[in-house]
Amino acid sequence: MPPMNGQPPPAPPKAPRAWHFEWLWPVLRHPRQALTTIRAQATPAWLTPLLVLSVLVVPQVLVAGPIQRQALIEAGPSLPADFEFYAPEDQARFLQAAEAAQGPAFLYAFPAGIALAQVWLGWLIVGSALHLVLTVLGGRSTVGEALNLAAWSGLPYGVRCIVRTVWMLATRELIASPGLSGFVDSQAGAGSLFLSHLLGVVDVYLLWQAALLLLGVRSENDPGRRTAWAAVLITLAIALLLQVLPGFLAGRLGSLTIVRPFFF
């Protein structure tokens, strides 16, 4: 039935969009304007960058798997010093376990699961820490704004995944010393081991993320330059510490191979 005043009924409000692939390139190319638009969103807008990052980390694992398997075959199993004194059944179990380490579960499934967990947990850590730090420092930020900004500021790590995947395809070699870890001898003691893990996550992509976070924090309800810098630096320090500690503790407990394909 038409309305009494002769005017058409108002159009129903549009449901908020869940996907924003049109922002991917602007965030990398024109970040100031794009992040201003993103932070002004009243609804969650973090799904697109997290999906892109999740898709990009998987090819890196798939490319690294065969290269790692070939390296393990060429190096052979690392036998303990008194291996010859083991009982035959113990030797067989040890060699069977070493062979299992070359299987799909250890080369593909576990690394892919770790990479995806780092994407999503890293986003939650950065977003939550950013909101908390800004609140403590007197800035204005909602949880939704912080989570949106944390997700989109992680896009440089997608570029890193592409670069690393292409490099491994071209050279057929693994990335032995990511970031700046090659400048430190991790075998020189606990301090050097911790520093090696810390420098392993410090690269140009981390600086790129820091720049995007800074632009995003100052784009809407600007808390000021000093507060923005402090919030970004403290947030990244918390995120890096939480990333480095598991690898450091595992390295101290034993000679474990720590897979570090993505964190932001």
| pTM for the structure as a whole | 0.83
pLDDT tens digits along 59-114: 999 999 999 888 877 777 677 777 676 777 776 777 777 777 778 888 899 999 99
For 179-229, the pLDDT digits (tens) are 887 777 666 677 777 787 788 888 999 999 999 999 999 987 788 889 999
pLDDT attached to residue 193:
76
What is the CA 160 to chain-centroid distance, rounded? 10
> For residue 153, is it within any domain?
yes
Mean pLDDT over all residues of the chain?
Answer: 83
| 115 domain-assigned | yes
Model confidence over 114-138: pLDDT tens digits? 999 999 999 999 999 999 999 999 8
For residue 15, tell me if it sits in a domain: no
Output 147 or 95, whichever has higher pLDDT: 147
pLDDT at 132: 94
- How far apart (Å, rounded) are the C-alpha atoms in residues 203 and 217? 22
Q: Which of 152, 138, 133 is nearest to 235 (CA)?
A: 133
* Helix axes of 204-217 and 155-171: crossing angle, nearest 10 degrees: 160
What average pLDDT score do residues 48-58 get?
Answer: 96
Q: How far apart are CA 169 and CA 64, in angstroms?
A: 9
The answer as to whether 29 is a domain residue is no
Distances (CA, A) of 76 to 10, 71, 184: 72, 8, 26
Q: Is residue 106 part of a domain?
A: yes
Q: Give domain status of residue 249, yes or no.
A: yes
Domain count, the chain: 1
Task: Flag whether 260 is in a domain.
Answer: no
For residue 21, tell me if it sits in a domain.
no
Q: Which domain holds residue 211?
A: 45-253
Is pLDDT above 90 for 233? yes
Greatest pairwise CA separation for the chain in angstroms: 97
